[in-house]
Amino acid sequence: MTLSSDLPNTPATRSSATPIILDGRAGPDAGPDGPQSPLFDGLNPQQLEAVKYRGPALLIVAGAGSGKTSVLTRRVAGLIESREAWPSQILAITFTNKAAAEMRERVRGLLGQASDGMWISTFHSSCVRILRREAESAGLSTNFSIYDSADTKVTIKRIIKQLDADTMGFTPGNVASKISKLKNELADVDSYARNANMSDPQEVMFVEIFRQYTRRLREASALDFDDLIGETVFLFRAFPKVAALYRRRFRHILVDEYQDTNHAQYALVRELTRPVEAELADDMEDQGLHVKNLQDATGRIPGASLTVVGDSDQSIYAFRGASSRNITEFERDFPGTKVILLEQNYRSTQNILSAANAVIGNNFDRREKRLWSAGGDGEKIVGYTAYNGHDEAQFVADEVEALHRKGMAYRDMAVFYRTNAQTRALEEILVRAAVPYRVVGGTKFYERAEIKDALAYLIAVANPQDELALRRILNTPKRGIGPATETQLGSFAETNGISFRQAMRDSGGLGLGPKVTGAILKLATLLDSAALMMDPQNPAGPANVSDLLTYLLDGSGLLAVLRGSRDAQDEVRAENIEELVAQTKDFNRENPDAGLVDFLTQVSLVAAADDLDDASGTVSLMTLHTAKGLEYEAVFLTGIEEGLLPHQMSAGEPGGPAEERRLFYVGITRARQRLYLSLAMTRAQFGDVNVAMPSRYLQEIPADLIDWKQSPGMANSRGGTQSRALNARPGGGGFGSRSGTPGQLPPAPKPKTEWANRVTAQVRDNGDLTLNPGDRIRHVDFGDGRVNQVTGEGTKRIAHVQFDTSGAKKLLIKIAPIEKIE
């Protein structure tokens, strides 16, 4: 049974590339596959072409909101439905796990069960999967640890200290980023050292740090984030037979967000799309690997077909080695490339797009691309110049509430900012205004100290070589093993050529105090017995992750110590650990066949955007970087100031300001209906207040697109409303007197008293103040008002208040600066 006849749209595909083993599976009933198939419904001509095109290489230049996810999923679904490919022959790379999950979900929606078996994941997840499978060839153990950036920094910090390199200006931060950049270029210590200028003592020292770092990782059987990609590339280059397995398997490779791939990732894609030489292919056939149907006339297995989707205008990761060169030179790298442009935007109003186009148009050196929408102009963009960060946050909170009253769900709104530090003021105000919100990313759950502690116990069981994890838990919770003892154990291990873990077991002969020795041995025994629980040889069968974690928590007393503490923060920490236990239970349920290492891998590779819960009815707060790929009905872009966007740190970098502009562009294009731009005249930083200037990018938006509720000009002009003049903060002057800035900003002054500008930073506790509808209250900032309604329970009780001059607001009763009057 041959299928080529079912493929009206694939003249370029050789029929031999079609899988032959068709009967094993109940594929989708060979439904009608013409233009009337639901796969092609509602697509514009360019999208349709992108879904249907068949050939070795396809570049889809997809502007923001042009429906690329839809195109990608339908393309994948089309390949499978038409039986050009088995699910297992598809490898789709996305930027985040969440994007991967969404894509998998949508393909499943189109195909049902037939979608099982595809690899849809991030670069990092795919590489871990490959490296664990091929650990033996790669010279790794299957249970290798994955170091996150914090682990990397700690390791480097210790090396720097040991080498006294801090006196030469080395910091963990700059060393880590330099090593990361090198690894992204596929350099290792040796290749770097070969070209280094060894007469420069700085260079010599750096090489030494790099060398020791590499050695420590190897000794701990650990890989850092960058290694995951690089080692996979090295594996493929060193072992053509291993590479051939994957080249044979993945016939269709799709890469999303291609503009943000770095060199190592580019190299990986190249390796995966190379053909398998005839000789090797024949060998594989001899080993029963069934490649005959894939071989061409010369006996080779041709390279996989490659589809990449990207938009140079949204390249925002150059700082970590991404190069949009990969996209601009794609046609040269992959000859015979078909290029398709998607320019019609289905997301935003024309006003928002016009602003976006105007901004990005200031970047030279780009392929001209103009987004357009058939959806109408929509509302104007709203601008607001606040006096300070809190004032700005209050503006956001008020507008969020106003939108919500008009019927917009909280989950359809998002607040973006350049730096994580900006969340503080926003959170303070949103809590007080009782706006349900969620910070996406930031200090991630898995990066909290107590969670890392608990995970370190698991890692110590999974990978006994991992000294970092061992040292972390050695005295956590406190068991009287101090730094002196730790050092002794370390040197004992080193002089005897044994692992740190073994040194712990043998610590009896070290002549330490009986108490300390007892503590060390107890921990070693705990870990050993835990390891026994997970041993596949265990007659009872290996325990599951949550049982193991519970056992370790009980045995170590980690949770009990936090529970017993009278520090209020420890209570939160204990809750976090219990949340982790709950997560292990979920994991067991959802992945009954997965083990400890699988759990730890998943945990290591979660991205900021991954913990975004679409179902939660909350406003989302996130950085502009995290926002990439997402969209919301209403978007608040905050902190549009010089020094913040573009960020101070980017000024020196070549291409910095252009990248910051793209970041702004990304932020703008996330909005469907409503866009708010806000800035503050003064911003608190490093504990004191600085004067800020409006971002240069603001002037790039045509003035008639923005409706300034309070423009930068007004904000300090003497005529500002009474209350504002009164509220101006020390240091707040001098903002509008922007000598030298082409002032197209201050149009139509429309003073509104709707927003109070001053917010006390003071945290109050009203105890059990009770309010009832009808009560009159006085608010420090908003003045007098009447309580309409009280909702919520306990500490979360919320008063809905109609203020006499400041409008309607919701207040968290417990902490609002209010008192009952009358």
Partner DNA sequence: ATCGTCGATTTTTTT
Partner DNA sequence: AATCGACGAT
Active site residues: 68-69, 256-257, 314, 670
Check binding of 481 to DNA (CB under 7 A): yes
Check binding of 516 to DNA (CB under 7 A): yes
- What is the layout of strands, in order, in the sheet containing 252-255? 119-122, 90-94, 252-255, 305-310, 57-62, 338-342
Q: Minimum Å distance from CB 160 to DNA?
A: 11
| Tokens matching residue 328 | 């601009």
Other CB atoms within a 10 A radius of the CB of residue 370 amount to 13
Check binding of 607 to DNA (CB under 7 A): yes
Check binding of 608 to DNA (CB under 7 A): yes
Q: Minimum Å distance from CB 656 to DNA?
A: 7
Q: Minimum Å distance from CB 649 to DNA?
A: 4
392 in Cβ contact with 337 (< 8 Å): no
Site residues for DNA, 72-91, by CB under 7 A, read: none
Q: Is 68 annotated as a binding residue?
A: yes
Other CB atoms within a 10 A radius of the CB of residue 487 amount to 10
x-or-dash string of contact with DNA, 139-178, rule CB under 7 A: ---------xx-------x-------------x-x---x-
Check binding of 129 to DNA (CB under 7 A): no
x-or-dash string of contact with DNA, 95-114, rule CB under 7 A: xx------------------
Check binding of 419 to DNA (CB under 7 A): yes
Check binding of 685 to DNA (CB under 7 A): yes
Rounded Cα gap, residues 713 and 723, in angstroms: 17
Check binding of 576 to DNA (CB under 7 A): no
Rounded Cα gap, residues 243 and 271, in angstroms: 8
Q: Is 774 annotated as a binding residue?
A: no
Q: Of residues 52, 106, 124, 709, which one binds DNA by CB under 7 A?
A: 124
x-or-dash string of contact with DNA, 225-264, rule CB under 7 A: xx--------------------------------------
- Matching residue, tokens 């419904």: 41
Check binding of 491 to DNA (CB under 7 A): no
Check binding of 183 to DNA (CB under 7 A): no
Check binding of 445 to DNA (CB under 7 A): no
Q: Is 63 annotated as a binding residue?
A: yes
Q: Minimum Å distance from CB 477 to DNA?
A: 9
Stretch that binds DNA, among 250-258, 681-689, 722-730, 778-786 (CB under 7 A): 681-689
Q: Is 298 annotated as a binding residue?
A: no
Q: Is 443 annotated as a binding residue?
A: no
Those residues whose C-beta lies under 8 Å from the C-beta of residue 299, and which sit 6 or more positions away, are 278, 279, 281, 282
Would you state the torsion angle of the CA atoms of residues 505, 507, 513, 518, taken in this order, to the nearest 10 degrees?
A: 0
Q: Which residues lie across from 382 on neighbouring strands?
A: 676, 707
Nearer to DNA, 647 or 674 (CB): 647
Both ends of the chain: CA-CA distance in Å? 88
Q: Report strand pairing: 413-417 vs 632-637.
A: parallel
Stretch that binds DNA, among 235-243, 390-398, 477-485, 739-747 (CB under 7 A): 477-485
Q: Is 57 annotated as a binding residue?
A: no
Written as one string, the DSSP assignment of 350-393 is HHHHHHHHHHHTT--SS-----B-SS---SPEEEEEESSHHHHH
Rounded Cα gap, residues 73 and 231, in angstroms: 29
Check binding of 687 to DNA (CB under 7 A): yes
Check binding of 648 to DNA (CB under 7 A): yes
Rounded Cα gap, residues 422 and 683, in angstroms: 9
Q: Of residues 609, 668, 675, 818, which one binds DNA by CB under 7 A?
A: 609
Rounded Cα gap, residues 276 and 247, in angstroms: 7
**DSSP-based three-state secondary structure for 43:** coil
Rounded Cα gap, residues 107 and 118, in angstroms: 10
Check binding of 562 to DNA (CB under 7 A): no
Check binding of 483 to DNA (CB under 7 A): yes
Site residues for DNA, 719-778, by CB under 7 A, read: none
DSSP annotation of 89: G
- Matching residue, tokens 């091929």: 134
Q: Minimum Å distance from CB 490 to DNA?
A: 13
Q: Which residues lie across from 790 on neighbouring strands?
A: 799
Stretch that binds DNA, among 15-23, 110-118, 288-296, 649-657 (CB under 7 A): 649-657
| Tokens matching residue 53 | 């095109």
Stretch that binds DNA, among 274-282, 302-310, 618-626, 743-751 (CB under 7 A): 618-626
Q: Minimum Å distance from CB 386 to DNA?
A: 17
785 in Cβ contact with 407 (< 8 Å): no
Nearer to DNA, 162 or 770 (CB): 162
Check binding of 479 to DNA (CB under 7 A): yes
Alpha-carbon radius of gyration of the chain: 29
Q: Which long-range CB contacts under 8 A does 53-56 form with residues at least 24 apart?
A: 53/338, 53/340, 54/9, 54/10, 54/11, 54/12, 54/13, 54/84, 54/305, 55/12, 55/305, 55/336, 55/338, 56/302, 56/303, 56/305, 56/306, 56/334, 56/336, 56/337
Written as one string, the DSSP assignment of 442-487 is SS-GGGSHHHHHHHHHHHHHH-TT-HHHHHHHHTSS--S--HHHHH
Site residues for DNA, 421-440, by CB under 7 A, read: 421
Nearer to DNA, 316 or 637 (CB): 316
Nearer to DNA, 268 or 382 (CB): 268
Q: Of residues 67, 302, 303, 441, which one binds DNA by CB under 7 A?
A: 441
The binding site comprises: 62-69
- Tell me which residues touch DNA (CB under 7 A): 95-96, 122-124, 148-149, 157, 171, 173, 177, 180, 225-226, 316-317, 319-320, 418-421, 441, 475, 478-485, 516, 605, 607-609, 623, 625-626, 647-650, 653, 684-687
